[in-house]
Chains A and B, each alone.
Chain A
């Protein structure tokens, strides 16, 4: 009992020290002079409440642990239908899902469709990073660099050479992949955590270059007026450009700016479906198995004759090309890009999506991407706390559920 009391007092004291100067007072600039202002009484009440929570939490921690231990863990497995039923229903469910995804935007508001498009971009990014982090176990903190490469590829090619979106899509993916290849080739020999820092440095370098190469990339001002995608040459603007036709003229319907939003959404759905399909195939191929094997035990893999450079490089390059895809689409959707969109925090958000969903699990990553993009929109008044929560979530997830919300299930066959 005395031990717990001491522990509780100690923890409460530490909390008070942590909070007193950083939360209790704040620096404020009055003109050129700097002053210290004590925070309001309400903030001190919060601090004291926090200290009290820590104190009692520590004091009763053994009892609380016992209490939490008694709560039965919800088992998701019980909710799932039998494997045989699932197998029979799967094609139908997939078909229903895809039809639903296609029909849905015609019934809701423009803002909702736009948000869905953004979510789909994050799903693409999450799936791409999932190959690198989840499957191959390479922590890439500069993933956003490949996203930037894709976005700038489209923006620059369309601005200077008038390339169309559809032509740029494969080019962007290829270019991002080659960036991944060039970076990956020397770097992948490094051990896990060094790799993380080097990719982080690479991401920052790309951003700094984009920011300072003013002549071509427009520097911090970015590139604006990027062309929107067309449907077989049909534009989605009110008036067509030279020797082009608009969508509404061709079909003889009234102009509606919503068409463009829905069209973009449908492209995103298409891209995500393609990415999911490809990754699913890859996971079942020898290379996919090799990724996971390498993640689990590198030395064992090498002793079995797997070439680790080729395997890691393929994961890195494929992840990068997915980001290039997403970047190209992002540039087309925004119509404006600047280095501001490709900061480290963006990499961290994508990483948080992968971690939250469950490293390696595709369903998990998709769900996490949906949650991570829609929650901040719903809780607008808490938008200041968004990144704070992301950070906290990453720590909490690693501590209590490192395998993610929907842990990965390996594709496997059972002998009967």
Chain B
């Protein structure tokens, strides 16, 4: 293979890595939108909180010494999911539930307020500067191509991100398609009022949606935190916007769509960063968002929405 195509392959690999974490965050947006039709603007902050919690747990456990790395990471994952889930649940309870049924914009403004609040809450309690963690997982699984020109590498970290994402996505798909709760979720997305009439506690299902979305965002927070090694209280804003773009790209309301959208966005971004000045990679995400909304607002896998009086 030529050098150029190897370079392209490497960029696609990097893009798929970032893209799979976007997909994890995007699921939170898409599930909430699918059921109550609102954009949970504070979702990006949940991802950021997940990053912080996992950094705290990892640093704490490493300081204790002689705990195996997988145990540390697993513990961090569980704690981050638990705490982020609690945040997700509380946000819904405090800021969204009282507003349910009112104008869409009112709920969105409340969500923006919540997002600003959480961002500054973390900036005040944890400091607003960058926090850096020394890389825990290094080395590569696989290298090919010649060393003189360009070698494509897949690192252990990337493999970890892919496998965790794959396991999570499979578990989520099974949960949604097989379990009783999952069936209730799908029923809620179909018709909230009717589901309620049939004796399903829709408030509980909505809470559950927020918890699942937040837990997935926390997984993404841990993975991306480890991948980049640096976090600060403001990472949630851009990550949230990108994940939202991914959700819209795949068709908001559709879980497979969010997965697909995340991967496409990740690759598109990596390719722009590779061939254009990297500052413009954020512009690509927004440009993509605007383009899809204009030409195919339902996204790739979404269903068209009928406007009701």
A interface residues, Cβ below 8 angstroms from B: 14, 17-18, 21-23, 25-29, 32-36, 133, 137, 139, 141, 186-187, 189-190, 192-194, 196-198, 200-202, 204-205, 208-209, 211-212, 299, 344-345, 348, 351-352, 355, 384-385, 387-388, 390-395, 397-399, 402
Q: CB within 8 A of B63: which of A36, A388, A393, A397?
A: A36
Quick one: CB contact mask for B20-64 with A, threshold 8 Å, 1 for yes? 000000000000000000110000000001001101110110010
The CA of A190 and the CA of B60, in the complex, are separated in Å by 47
Stretch binding the partner chain, chosen from B149-157, B197-205, B259-267, B280-288: B280-288
Query: Across the interface, which residues of A come within 8 angstroms of B119, CB to CB?
Result: 387, 391
Tell me the smallest distance from the CB of B135 to a CB of chain A, in Å: 12
Stretch binding the partner chain, chosen from B9-17, B123-131, B164-172, B184-192: B123-131
Name the residue of chain B whose CB is nearest to the CB of A13.
B86
Q: Is A29's CB under 8 angstroms from B132's CB? A: yes
The CA of A36 and the CA of B307, in the complex, are separated in Å by 52
> Can you show 10 pairs from A to B with CB atoms below 8 A apart?
A17-B83, A21-B52, A23-B125, A25-B56, A139-B105, A187-B293, A194-B297, A351-B109, A391-B118, A395-B114
Query: Across the interface, which residues of A come within 8 angstroms of B63, CB to CB?
Result: 35-36
Query: Across the interface, which residues of B come within 8 angstroms of A193, CB to CB?
Result: 38-39, 104-105, 108
**A-B CB contacts (within 8 Å), total count:** 178
Q: Is A355's CB under 8 angstroms from B109's CB? A: yes
Known contacts A34-B132, A399-B95, A402-B106; A201 and B90 CB within 8 A of each other? no
Q: Is A212's CB under 8 angstroms from B277's CB? A: yes
Q: Is the interface of B mostly helix, strand, loop or mixed?
A: helix
Q: Is B126's CB under 8 angstroms from A27's CB? A: yes
Q: Is A26's CB under 8 angstroms from B126's CB? A: yes
Q: Is B132's CB under 8 angstroms from A35's CB? A: no
Known contacts A21-B53, A22-B125, A193-B38; A34 and B134 CB within 8 A of each other? yes
The CA of A28 and the CA of B126, in the complex, are separated in Å by 8
Q: Is B101 an interface residue (CB 8 A)?
A: no
Q: CB within 8 A of A209: which of B53, B102, B283?
A: B283
Query: Across the interface, which residues of B come within 8 angstroms of A345, CB to CB?
Result: 116
Interface size class of B (residues with CB under 8 A): 35 or more
Q: Is B79's CB under 8 angstroms from A394's CB? A: no
B interface residues, Cβ below 8 angstroms from A: 38-39, 49, 52-53, 55-57, 59-60, 63, 79, 82-83, 86-87, 89-90, 94-95, 98-99, 102-110, 112-122, 124-127, 129, 131-134, 237, 241, 244-245, 248, 277, 279-280, 282-283, 285-287, 289-290, 293-294, 297, 307, 309
Q: Is B109's CB under 8 angstroms from A27's CB? A: no
18 further A-B contacts with Cβ under 8 Å, apart from A23-B125, A209-B283, are: A17-B83, A17-B86, A18-B83, A18-B87, A26-B126, A27-B127, A32-B132, A139-B109, A200-B241, A204-B241, A352-B113, A355-B109, A388-B121, A392-B117, A394-B112, A395-B95, A395-B114, A398-B107
Q: Is A395's CB under 8 angstroms from B56's CB? A: no
Q: Is A385's CB under 8 angstroms from B124's CB? A: yes
Q: Is A395's CB under 8 angstroms from B282's CB? A: no
Q: CB within 8 A of A198: which of B87, B133, B293?
A: B293
The CA of A132 and the CA of B124, in the complex, are separated in Å by 33
Name the residue of chain A whose CB is nearest to the CB of B39.
A193
Query: Across the interface, which residues of A come within 8 angstroms of B237, CB to CB?
Result: 344
The CA of A141 and the CA of B49, in the complex, are separated in Å by 23
The CA of A25 and the CA of B55, in the complex, are separated in Å by 11
Query: Across the interface, which residues of A come within 8 angstroms of B290, CB to CB?
Result: 186-187, 198, 201-202
Tell me the smallest distance from the CB of A289 to a CB of chain B, in Å: 20
Tell me the smallest distance from the CB of A129 to a CB of chain B, in Å: 12
Q: Is A141's CB under 8 angstroms from B56's CB? A: no
Query: Across the interface, which residues of B come within 8 angstroms of A355, CB to CB?
Result: 109
The CA of A32 and the CA of B113, in the complex, are separated in Å by 35
Known contacts A21-B56, A25-B56, A201-B290; A387 and B241 CB within 8 A of each other? no
Kindly name the residue among B49, B125, B134, B237 whose own CB sees the greatest number of chain A CB atoms within 10 A.
B125
Query: Across the interface, which residues of B come within 8 angstroms of A194, CB to CB?
Result: 248, 293, 297
Q: Is B102's CB under 8 angstroms from A402's CB? A: yes
Query: Across the interface, which residues of A come within 8 angstroms of B132, CB to CB?
Result: 29, 32, 34
